[in-house]
Amino acid sequence: MSEDSNFIPSFSNETLFSLMENYQGMPDAFQGFVDVQIKSLLSISKVHQSSVDDINKIAFHQQKVFSQIMEDTTTLANDMFKSADTQTALQVSAQSIEKSYESAMSNVNEVSELLRKSSAKTGSILRENAKQSMSELQNIQQKTSKASS
């Protein structure tokens, strides 16, 4: 990571190279590095699964919304055909359009909230993993530096 990253604490390439240069005769340090990488992959897998779950929730929600729209449209059409009075039909239509608009805006807000929560959860998982990885790698570097001194 670059030193100007706001996402996680900086971890320079020099530190990584130093760790690898000092690896000779230090299998514990290398195993620690591998363990950190495995944890990172598991974290990425967790994020992926969480994202898939959230996408499924959103798709299910959208399917529910679409079904409701179709039901409302059918009801509106039936009400308009039942009414012999054009004025009454227009009032029913206007009320239904207003109700549909309010429902659509509510659904947009719900989907936005689902996306916001999904993004926050993903960011939290990745940030926590990055902090743990940096801490573990820095500990490995310190042990490697002490052992090579």
> Tell me: the pLDDT tens digits for 62-100?
888 888 888 888 887 787 777 767 777 777 778 878 888
Residue 38: domain span: 13-148
pLDDT of residue 3: 43
Residue 4: inside a domain: no
pLDDT of residue 18: 65
Residue 53: inside a domain: yes
Measured between alpha carbons, how far is 116 from 58 in angstroms, rounded to an integer?
12
Number of domains within the chain: 1
Residue 141: inside a domain: yes
Helix (H, G, I), strand (E, B) or coil at 38: helix
Residue 74: inside a domain: yes
Take residue 38 and report the two structure tokens written for it: 């495995």
Residue 137: inside a domain: yes
Measured between alpha carbons, how far is 33 from 27 in angstroms, rounded to an integer?
10
Contact between 72 and 80 under an 8 Å Cβ cutoff? The reply is: no
Sorting pLDDT into bands at 50, 70 and 90, what band is 2? very low
Residue 44: inside a domain: yes
pTM for this predicted structure: 0.57
Residue 5: inside a domain: no
